Amino acid sequence: MSREQARRVLEQAQRIAVATHIAPDADALSSAIGLTLILRRLGKEAVAFCDDDLPPRLKTLPHADEIGRTAHGSFDLRVSLDASDPSRLGQAFRGLESLPLLNIDHHVTNIGFGTINWVEPAAVATAEMVLWLADDLGVALDPELASLLLAGIVGDTLGLRTPNVTPQVLREVVRLMEAGASLAALVDTLFNRRSLAALRLFGQALAGVQMEDGVVWTVITREMRAASGLHHANDLSLSSFLIGTEEARIAAVFTERDDGQVEVSLRARPGYDVARVALAFGGGGHPPAAGCLVPGPLEAVVPRLLAALKAAAQGETDGKAP
Ligand code: 5GP
Ligand code: MN
């Protein structure tokens, strides 16, 4: 129903501002840029925005260098991609608040902030939903669009390794590869590249790891970041690594930002749910991977989050893989 509404509202619009979330990942950027390519193929004006710096690894995605931070120009529709609440868009839509907003997302915690909301928690990536839209709108895949959409799917499934990767998803991957996307090149870009500075910070954070009551966690302080020379530490994939700890059911990484706020990156084993904890602290995500941004200081945030995480590590949810 809302997929149909999404198609219709996009067909009717002529000038479209597309935005994705701050701290962008591959799915965020690829779904936003991918949708603009689809809309341009239909003869429309479409521009993508992200109100944050792009991690270096994602600057190699097709058209990533054309992304603006805040929408400027004249538009008749806003589209939000991969963002579960409007704060995640930063100032991307500043000044355009009166325009209708189409909210396309796959986070179960999406609060339905659009004029039209198309939210599919069963989709492995927002990029997968954009692929469905391309089909609905009759836009054929070309190598650039296919590479973008495969980047989103590969990014959010950790290289097609998460439990939600079904035969249908793999058939979509085959279509994208046949249209010209390189799975090997994307896996290499998204997972096999890390700067020496990032590696050192990763190692330092790993050395400080702690474990209690099924929760494994570590902290990255401002001083650690400054010493490493890394301005942003949200591209380390450290929480995904920590959840591999045999004894752990939940993993958390606390990163102190320059403004004192604390970024919390959460992971859970199948059957445990960190999306609920993240939502309770003003964030969101998926049951196995979620996050939130919490006012500091770090010393206060860590024990509050740990109490909630330890409770979540006690209770299996419905036992089903997320
Ligand atoms: P990551 O730990 O990889 O940064 O994020 C894991 C998941 O949680 C992603 O789906 C991401 O969009 C979501 N997420 C991370 N931080 C936040 C946040 O501060 N707010 C919301 N709503 N979602 C977040
Ligand atoms: Mn996503």
List the CATH number of the domain containing 258. Answer: 3.10.310.30
Residue 322: the pLDDT is: 36
| Average pLDDT of the residues in 31-40 | 98
- What pLDDT sits at residue 209? 98
The confidence score (pLDDT) of residue 180 equals 98
Mutating to test ligand 1, I would choose from 88, 124, 236, 241 the residue with most ligand atoms within 8 A of its C-beta, which is 88
Among protein residues, the one whose CA lies closest to atom 24 of ligand 1 = 291
Q: Is 123 helix (H, G, I), strand (E, B) or coil?
A: coil
Asked if residue 159 and residue 18 are part of one domain, the reply reads yes
Domain that holds residue 26: 3-190
Model pTM score: 0.95
Length of the chain: 322
Chain CA centroid to CA 308, Å: 23
- Residue whose CA is closest, atom 4 of ligand 1? 265
Ligand 1 pocket test: which of 20, 21, 30, 158 has the largest number of ligand atoms within 8 Å of its C-beta?
21
Neighbours of ion ligand 2 (CB under 5 A): 27, 82, 126, 156
What mean pLDDT, rounded, does the chain reach? 95
Verify that 115 and 205 share a domain, yes or no.
no
Q: What percent of the chain has pLDDT over 90?
A: 93
C-alpha–C-alpha distance, residues 25 and 233, integer Å? 13
- Please check whether residues 124 and 170 belong to one and the same domain: yes
Q: Which of 99-108, 297-306, 313-322 has the lowest mean pLDDT?
A: 313-322
Which residues, judged by CB distance below 6 Å to any ligand atom, belong to the binding site of ligand 1? 84-85, 88, 107, 234, 239, 265, 283-286, 289-293
The domain tally of the chain equals 2
- pLDDT category at 236 given cuts 50, 70, 90 is confident
In a domain, 318, yes or no: no
202 and 110: one domain? Answer: no
Q: Are residues 202 and 272 in the same domain?
A: yes
Taking only the tens place, the pLDDT of each residue in 190-234 is 999 988 999 999 999 999 999 999 999 999 999 999 999 887 777
Residue-level pLDDT at 172: 98
In this predicted structure, the answer to whether residue 280 has a pLDDT above a threshold of 50 is yes
- The pLDDT value recorded for residue 122 is 97
CA 279 to chain centre: 15
CB 11 within 8 A of CB 77: no
Q: Compute the average pLDDT of residues 158-162.
A: 96
Residue 84 falls inside a structural domain:
yes
Cα-based angle 189, 190, 191 (whole degrees, multiple of 5): 100
pLDDT of residue 302: 98
